[in-house]
Amino acid sequence: MNIFGFAQQFFDDPSRWTGPDGIPTRLAEHVEYSLLALAIAMLIALPVGLVTGHTGRGGNALAALATAARALPSFGLLVLLTLLMGLGLIPVMVPLVALAVPPILVTTYEAMRGVDPSLVDAAKGMGMSRSRVLWQVELPVALPLILSGIRSAAIQIVSTATIAAYVSFGGLGRYIVDGLSQLRYEKVVGGAILVAGLALVTLGLFWALGRVLVSPGVRRSR
Amino acid sequence: MNFLQRFFEVPSDLQNTWWGLILWQLQLTLVPVLIGLALALPLGMLCARFRWFYPPVLGVTTIFYAIPSLAFFVFLIDYTGETSLTVEIPLTVYTLVVLVPAIVDGMRSVSEDTRAAATAMGFGTLRRYLQVELPIAVPAIIAGLRVATVSSVSLVSVGMLIGNEGALGNLLSDALNYHRPLLAWDAVLTIAVLGVVLDGLLVLARRILTPWARKAASA
Where residue A166 falls among pLDDT bands split at 50, 70, 90? Answer: confident
Q: What share of chain A in percent tops pLDDT 90?
A: 38
Which of A14-28, A93-107, A204-218, B203-217 tops mean pLDDT? A93-107
Question: Residue A155's closest CA among B33, B63, B72?
Answer: B63
Beta-carbon separation of B71 and A160 below 8 A: no
Report yes or no: B37 and B205 within 8 Å, Cβ to Cβ: no
**What is the rounded CA–CA span in Å between residue B44 and residue A63?**
25
Q: pTM score, two decimals?
A: 0.86
For the stretch B2-11, contacts whose Cβ atoms lie closer than 8 Å and that sit 24 or more positions apart, written own/partner, are: B6/B182, B7/B182, B7/B185, B7/B186, B8/B186, B10/B171, B11/B171, B11/B174, B11/B178, B11/B183
Helices within B81-210 (DSSP H only) = 84-108, 112-120, 125-128, 134-155, 170-177, 181-209
Of B71, B151, B160, the CB nearest to A196: B71
Where residue B193 falls among pLDDT bands split at 50, 70, 90? Answer: very high
Q: Please check the confidence at residue B8 and state whether its pLDDT lies above 60.
A: yes
Where residue A46 falls among pLDDT bands split at 50, 70, 90? Answer: very high
**What is the rounded CA–CA span in Å between residue A108 and residue A63?**
12
Beta-carbon separation of A162 and B71 below 8 A: yes
User: pLDDT tens-digit profile of A144-163?
Assistant: 989 989 998 999 899 889 98
- The CA–CA distances, whole Å, from B100 to A5, A206, B28, B32, B176 equal 34, 21, 21, 14, 38
DSSP string, B41-109: HHHHHHHHHSGGGHHHHHHHHHHHHTS-HHHHHHHHHHHH-SSHHHHHHHHHHHHHHHHHHHHHHHHHT
Residue B141, amino acid: I
Comparing A61-65, B61-65, B105-109, which segment has the lowest mean pLDDT? B61-65
**What is the rounded CA–CA span in Å between residue A221 and residue B92?**
34
Q: What share of chain B in percent tops pLDDT 90?
A: 22
pLDDT number for residue A18: 84
Convert chain A into a string of H (helix), E (strand) and C (coil): CCHHHHHHHHHHCHHHHCCCCCHHHHHHHHHHHHHHHHHHHHHHHHHHHHHHHHHCCCHHHHHHHHHHHHHCCHHHHHHHHHHHHCCCHHHHHHHHHHHHHHHHHHHHHHHHHCCCHHHHHHHHHCCCCHHHHHHHHHHHHHHHHHHHHHHHHHHHHHHHHHHHHHHCCCCCHHHHHHHHHHCCHHHHHHHHHHHHHHHHHHHHHHHHHHHHHCCHHHHHHC
Q: Please check the confidence at residue B197 and state whether its pLDDT lies above 90.
A: yes
Q: Please check the confidence at residue B202 and state whether its pLDDT lies above 90.
A: yes
Coil vs helix vs strand at B5: helix
Give the residue-averaged pLDDT of A117-134.
89
Give every CB contact of residue A85 below 8 A, 6+ residues apart in sequence: A91
Distance of CA A123 to the CA centre of its chain: 33
Give the residue-averaged pLDDT of A181-210.
88
CB pairs under 8 A between A and B: 130
Maximum Cα interatomic distance, chain B, rounded to a whole number of Å: 69
Comparing A59-68, A101-110, B1-10, B44-53, which segment has the lowest mean pLDDT? B1-10
Provide Rg for chain A, Cα atoms: 21
**What is the rounded CA–CA span in Å between residue A182 and residue A166?**
14
Beta-carbon separation of A192 and B162 below 8 A: no
Asked whether the ipTM of the predicted complex exceeds the cut of 0.90, the reply is no
Q: Please check the confidence at residue B219 and state whether its pLDDT lies above 50.
A: no
Give the residue-averaged pLDDT of A164-174.
88
Q: Please check the confidence at residue B9 and state whether its pLDDT lies above 80.
A: no
Q: Please check the confidence at residue B3 and state whether its pLDDT lies above 70.
A: no
User: pLDDT tens-digit profile of B73-95?
Assistant: 877 877 887 788 888 898 998 89
Give the residue-averaged pLDDT of B26-35.
93
Of A76, A82, A162, the CB nearest to B187: A76
Beta-carbon separation of B69 and A203 below 8 A: no
CA angle A173, A177, A182 (to 5 degrees): 140
pLDDT number for residue B213: 75
Provide Rg for chain B, Cα atoms: 21
| A5 CA: distance to closest CA in chain B (Å) | 12
| B176 CA: distance to closest CA in chain A (Å) | 7
Q: Please check the confidence at residue A221 and state whether its pLDDT lies above 60.
A: no
Residue B35, amino acid: I
Which of A34-38, A131-135, A205-209 tops mean pLDDT? A34-38
Among chain B residues, the shortest Cα distance to A69 is held by B192
Q: What share of chain A in percent tops pLDDT 70?
A: 98
